[in-house]
Amino acid sequence: MKGLLWFLLAAGAFYLMMRLGFGPHRIHGSTSEKLTDPVCGMEVDPDKGYAKMYRRREYLFCSHLCLDKFDADPERFLTREQKEMES
């Protein structure tokens, strides 16, 4: 029985190492979920799309068209996003 317990512990440790070492590669370690394009509302994979820092927050856009729209009037899209988060 003791052998089985050690095997489970080793397997668990190995699993954790796999998770930490071979997880999805991100540019920013903390970003693990998809971000919502504030312009069109589409979910964008952090590995793709166009990223932009605004007010110390990173926003992700599905296309350069959405990025341009955001650049033209960031506040408009930010308030819309905030409303969605509150509801």
| Chain residues that interact with Zn ion, rule: CB under 5 A | 37, 39-40, 42, 62, 66
The pair phi, psi for residue 86, each rounded to 5°, is -75, -35
Beta bridge partners of 78: none
| Amino acid at site 15 | Y
* Residue 37 CB, nearest approach to Zn ion (Å): 4
To Zn ion, the closest distance from the beta carbon of 12 in angstroms equals: 41
Contact assessment for residue 7 and residue 52, using Cβ atoms and an 8 Å cutoff: no
Rounded CA separation 56/38 (Å): 15
Q: Which is nearer to Zn ion, 7 or 64 (by Cβ)?
A: 64
* DSSP β-bridge partners for residue 3: none
Considering the complex, what minimum distance in angstroms separates the CB of residue 30 from Zn ion? Answer: 23
Choice between 62 and 77, CB closer to Zn ion: 62
Give the residue with the Cβ less far from Zn ion, 37 or 77.
37
